[in-house]
A and B are shown apart, each in its own frame.
Chain A
Amino acid sequence: MLTVMRIRTIGYFVREALKSLNRNSWMVLASVGTVAVSLIIVGVSLITVMNATYLATRLESNVEIIAYMKTEVNEEEALALKKEINKIPGIAKLQFINKDQALQEFRRELGDQKNMVDALGGQNPLPHLFKISAIAPEDVEKVAGALEKMKQMEKVDYGKNVVDKLFAITKWVRLVGIVVIVLLGLAAVFLIATTIRLTVFARRKEIQIMKILGATDWFIRWPFLMEGIVLGFTGAIIAVVIVDLSYVTATDYVRENLNLGLFGLQTDPHFLMALGAAMLGVGTFIGALGSSISIRRFLKV
């Protein structure tokens, strides 16, 4: 179908597409806007999932385990347990932190808000705890499992636990994201199809003349297809600009104002570029799909 196209023919298609976009400006705004919004959501959920995965890999390779004791366990009992724990294979470092130390540390971490601790009125709700480092990341789960079996332990925290929770959250982000994306994607396709249908109706006389003059079906279809593609692509460009700019702003803000250390956002230019390319591709596809629907249904050539 797509034989070598003359340059002037391509020029003709582009001119015709732009002309009719100019004519239906409200529909153009609506369809470009919908494409943009749905792609922004695509971008944001992809960024979220990607960051969660990134965080998860960093957490998983973290060999530190924190074992919280039950509050009724006193310091002597805890210290006695220390020997017991040392027998577990795979432990590189074992540190006991009594609850007063833990409270000190907590107060330091709170910084400005340390009066929250004062509000406790001298009570210390924290348990004694052990900080344990495993020799290798793959030992972490074994060591943690052995600690959990000890009856004096209230809770054993380590990377894997957090990672599991994180994955539970990202699963939801992904699920909700997919549903919203599909719904908005359908809305975008529908709006583009409607825009193209308006163009087809506005130009039915011209289409009839073109047929009589011997235009091929594809010659008649191309400007409409082009119009849909321009709509989808424009929406995608808007979405890419918004998502990239706000993400760069967000990562800068996080780096400068929130000292999260390990938990910073990922800034990978390759990722942003790939994301942008994918969004442009999806936008173009949405546009082509929307116009194909109208061309099939309303352009009897």
Chain B
Amino acid sequence: MSKNIITVYLRGVIFLMINMINVSKVYPNGSKALTDITLRIEKGEFVFLVGPSGAGKSTLTKLIFREEQPTRGQLLFHGKNIARYKPREIPFLRRAIGVIFQDFKLLPNKTVSENVAFALEVIEASGREIKKSVPEALELVGLSNKADAMPAQLSGGEQQRVAIARAIVNNPPLVIADEPTGNLDPDTSWEIVHLLQEINKCGTTVLMATHAKEIVDGMRKRVIALEKGRVARDEERGAYGYED
């Protein structure tokens, strides 16, 4: 037991959050989504993943929460090879990763707080935990007053904030956001990115795939650019670097 705790702790200290070594992904239909990707993301980083449509951004995020598996190469999460996870361990990998999507993926027939609580229900958290954590998460995203509203009654930005609350309610060390501002106007997009920045400041690693040039340029964070499935650029305090 104690050995286990130490191992987990040491993994957190010693190992990188994400370590990809020569990762390639070829889909069964033959299309090469990623080729020879090698990159390291450390704990606590805020990383933008940019690149034209079809460059492999979504595939890369899907590899991390094991919606897809690499065809070649190794992908280590906290130092553990993701390919080594047994099927029944995958849910526990996913509990360590909060995911945010462009289309929010909220359940339309549940209220805001029920949607957030759902993340804890499916991992069989206790009722006490749910009662405590859900209001905290809603507070953090600034939606305490909308707890009982239905998603359809909210604006796009508010819906995305519910999705963020759901992603972080069980305190995952990593948050992956796949084009979280794709459906939002510029002002709302900035609100969402600032929220992600807040979450990052609390120690959570954030990986955000995006097309939003202004935001990437304005934030001056690490930028990884993908082109045709390869890493074209990896810069600290980078810029979007494309005209599209």
A interface list, Cβ under 8 A from B: 6, 8-9, 12, 205-206, 208-217, 219
Contacts and interface: CB of A to CB of B under 8 A. Distances in A.
Contacts of A205: 105, 107
**A-B CB proximity, top 6 nearest:** A214-B95, A215-B122, A214-B94, A214-B91, A216-B91, A213-B119
B149 to A, nearest CB: 19
B10 interface: no
B150 to A, nearest CB: 15
Contacts of B87: 217
A210 B107 CA distance: 11
B88 interface: yes
Given A209-B107, A213-B119, 13 more contacts: A209-B118, A210-B122, A211-B91, A212-B67, A212-B99, A213-B122, A213-B123, A213-B166, A214-B93, A214-B94, A214-B122, A217-B87, A217-B91
Contacts of B95: 213-214
Nearest to B93: A214
27 contacts: A6-B126, A8-B121, A8-B126, A8-B127, A9-B121, A205-B105, A208-B105, A211-B91, A211-B94, A212-B65, A212-B67, A212-B94, A212-B99, A212-B105, A213-B94, A213-B118, A213-B123, A213-B166, A214-B91, A214-B92, A214-B93, A215-B91, A216-B88, A216-B91, A217-B91, A219-B91, A219-B122
Nearest to A215: B122
B28 to A, nearest CB: 15
A155 B94 CA distance: 83
Interface in B89-103: 91-95, 99
A81 to B, nearest CB: 85
Contacts of A211: 91, 94
Q: Size class of B's contact patch?
A: 20 to 34
A219 B124 CA distance: 9
User: What's the dominant secondary structure at chain B's contact region?
Assistant: helix
Given A205-B105, A213-B119, A9 B124 contact: yes
Contacts of B107: 205-206, 209
Interface of B: 65, 67, 87-88, 91-95, 99, 105, 107, 118-119, 121-124, 126-127, 166
B65 A217 contact: no
Nearest to B89: A216
A211 B166 CA distance: 14
Contacts of B124: 6, 9, 219
A269 B14 CA distance: 71
Contacts of A213: 94-95, 118-119, 122-123, 166
Contacts of B166: 213
A226 B27 CA distance: 36
Nearest to A203: B107
Nearest to A209: B105
Contacts of B99: 212
Contacts of B126: 6, 8
Contacts of B67: 212
A5 to B, nearest CB: 8
A2 to B, nearest CB: 13
A208 B122 CA distance: 12
A8 B67 CA distance: 28
Contacts of B88: 216-217
A8 B126 CA distance: 8
Contacts of B92: 214
Nearest to A206: B107
Contacts of A210: 122
Contacts of A8: 121, 126-127
Contacts of A219: 91, 122, 124
Contacts of A217: 87-88, 91
Contacts of B119: 213
A214 to B, nearest CB: 4
A8 B119 CA distance: 14
